[in-house]
């Protein structure tokens, strides 16, 4: 299975798992062009500038790592519940996804779900 297919398959299984927890997955801005990535970089919303450092969200330019962004509403409307993300990232890893990404500012990229070529 190619990496794109693997991401699609894993995402489908993961979204069903999130739903089964009584949570809501809110996917946002997953696949990006170089322009969109550069824009997020200039807004300090990403560590990747899209050219020198390609993001796993640039599906055509990133052959070895791919990602989608999905925020999780814990059922109360809160999309920043760290306990929910910790549990969800454990599940994501168990399904074969990458560990949670640590950003250059030291924070966790909680809403980022990534796979890589093995
Ligand atoms: Zn991301």
| pLDDT at 26 (0 to 100) | 97
Q: 69 C-alpha to center of ligand 1: Å?
A: 5
Given the structure tokens 């109360």, which residue do they identify?
A: 76
Q: How far apart are CA 56 and CA 36, in angstroms?
A: 13
- Are 73 and 65 in contact, with CB atoms under 8 Å apart? no
pTM above 0.85, yes or no: yes
What tens digit of pLDDT does each residue of 2-58 get? 999 999 999 999 999 999 999 999 998 899 999 999 999 999 999 999 999 999 999
Please report, for the chain, the start and end positions of each structural domain, with discontinuous segments joined by +. Answer: 3-116
Q: 116 C-alpha to center of ligand 1: Å?
A: 13
Element spanning 22, H or E: none
C-alpha torsion sign, points 88, 91, 108, 58: negative
Q: How far apart are CA 110 and CA 98, in angstroms?
A: 12
Give the whole-number percent of the chain exceeding pLDDT 70.
100
Q: 68 C-alpha to center of ligand 1: Å?
A: 6
- Are 65 and 116 in contact, with CB atoms under 8 Å apart? yes
**Is CATH 3.40.630.30 the right assignment for the domain spanning 3-116?**
no
Q: 12 C-alpha to center of ligand 1: Å?
A: 17
Q: Is the pLDDT of residue 1 over 90?
A: no
| pLDDT at 118 (0 to 100) | 86
Q: 59 C-alpha to center of ligand 1: Å?
A: 12
């Amino acid at each position: 299975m190619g990496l794109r297919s693997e991401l699609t398959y894993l995402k489908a299984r993961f979204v069903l798992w999130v739903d089964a927890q009584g949570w809501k997955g809110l996917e946002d801005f997953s696949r990006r062009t170089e322009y969109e990535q550069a824009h997020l970089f200039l807004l300090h919303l990403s560590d990747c500038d899209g050219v020198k450092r390609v993001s796993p969200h640039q599906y055509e330019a990133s052959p070895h790592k791919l990602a989608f962004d999905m925020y999780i509403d814990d059922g109360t409307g809160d999309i920043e519940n760290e306990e929910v993300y910790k549990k969800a990232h454990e599940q994501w890893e168990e399904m074969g996804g990458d560990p949670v990404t640590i950003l250059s500012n030291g924070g966790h990229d909680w809403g980022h779900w990534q796979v890589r070529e093995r």
